[in-house]
Amino acid sequence: MNIRANHLPTAELQALDAAHHMHPFSDGDALAKRGVRVITHADGVMLTDSEGKQILDGMSGLWCCNIGHGRRELADAAHAQMLQLSYYNTFFMTSHPPVIELAETIARLAPEHMNHVFFASGGSEANDTNIRMVRHYWAARGKPEKTVIISRRNAYHGSTMGGASLGGMGGMHAQGGLPIPGIVHIDQPNWWAEGGDLSPDDFGIARARQLAEKIAEIGEDKVAAFIAEPVQGAGGVIVPPDSYWPEVKRVLEAHDILFIADEVITGFGRTGQMFGSQTYDLTPDIMTVAKGLSSGYAPIGGSIVADHVAEVINGGGDFNHGYTYSGHPVACAVAIENLRIIVEEKLVERVRTDIGPYLWERWKALTDHPLVGEAVQKGLMASIALTPDKSTRAKFASEPGTVGYRCRERCFANNLVMRHVGDRMIIAPPLTISHDEVDMLIDRATRSLDETYAGLKADGMLVSA
Ligand X SMILES: *Cc1c(COP(=O)(O)O)cnc(C)c1O
Kindly tell me which of 148 and 300 has the beta carbon lying closer to ligand X.
300
* Sole binder of ligand X in the list 111, 189, 195, 233 (CB under 6 A): 233
Spatial CA neighbour of 330 closest among 284, 371, 370, 299: 299
Q: Considering the complex, what minimum distance in angstroms separates the CB of residue 275 from ligand X?
A: 13
Query: How far apart, in whole angstroms, are the C-alpha atoms of residue 356 and residue 342?
Result: 15
Q: 65 or 372: whose CB is closer to ligand X?
A: 65
Distance CA(74)–CA(35), nearest Å, equals 32
CA distances from 56 to 40, 67, 294, 446 (A): 14, 15, 21, 14
What b-and-e string marks burial along 390-413, b requiring 16 or more CB atoms within 10 Å of the CB?
beebebbebeeebbbebbbebbee
Count CB-CB contacts under 10 A for residue 199.
12
Q: Is 61 in the site for ligand X (CB under 6 A)?
A: no
> Which one of residues 128, 247, 262, 437 is an interface residue with ligand X (CB under 6 A)?
262
Smallest separation (angstroms) from ligand X to the CB of 458: 36
Rounded (5°) CA angle 59-403-10? 55
For ligand X, the binding residues in 62-81 under the rule CB under 6 A are: 63
- Is 234 a binding residue for ligand X by CB under 6 A? The answer is yes
Shortest gap between Cβ of 230 and ligand X (angstroms)? 9
Residue range at the interface with ligand X (CB under 6 A); choices 150-158, 173-181, 204-212, 378-386: 150-158
- Choose the stretch contacting ligand X; rule: CB under 6 A; options: 136-144, 262-270, 360-368, 412-420: 262-270
Closest residue to ligand X, based on beta-carbon distance: 123
Please, what is the minimum distance in Å from the beta carbon of residue 71 to ligand X? 20
Q: Which residues pair with 385 in a beta bridge?
A: 424
Q: Does 156 bind ligand X (CB under 6 A)?
A: yes
Distance, in Å, from the CA atom of 112 to the CA atom of 100, rounded to the nearest integer, reads 18
Select the span of 106-114, 228-236, 278-286, 456-464 touching ligand X (CB under 6 A).
228-236
Binding part of the chain for ligand X, among 87-95, 154-162, 195-203, 216-224 by CB under 6 A, reads 154-162
Contact call for residue 265 and ligand X (CB under 6 A): yes
Return the H-helix or E-strand segment holding 150: strand 148-152
Number of residues that bind ligand X (CB under 6 A): 16
User: Within 101-140, which residues bind ligand X (CB under 6 A)?
Assistant: 122-124, 127
In angstroms, how far is the first alpha carbon of the chain from the final one?
52
CA distances from 212 to 146, 215, 238, 310, 408 (A): 16, 5, 21, 26, 38
Mask: binding to ligand X, 297-336, rule CB under 6 A, as x and -? ----x-----------------------------------
What are the beta bridge partners of residue 149? 183, 225
| SS3 category, 90 | coil
Which one, 167 or 272, has the nearer CB to ligand X? 167
| Residue 29: partners with Cβ closer than 8 Å, 6 or more residues away | none
Minimum CB distance to ligand X smaller for 265 or for 456: 265
Q: Which positions touch ligand X (CB under 6 A)?
A: 63, 122-124, 127, 156-158, 229, 233-234, 262, 264-265, 290, 301
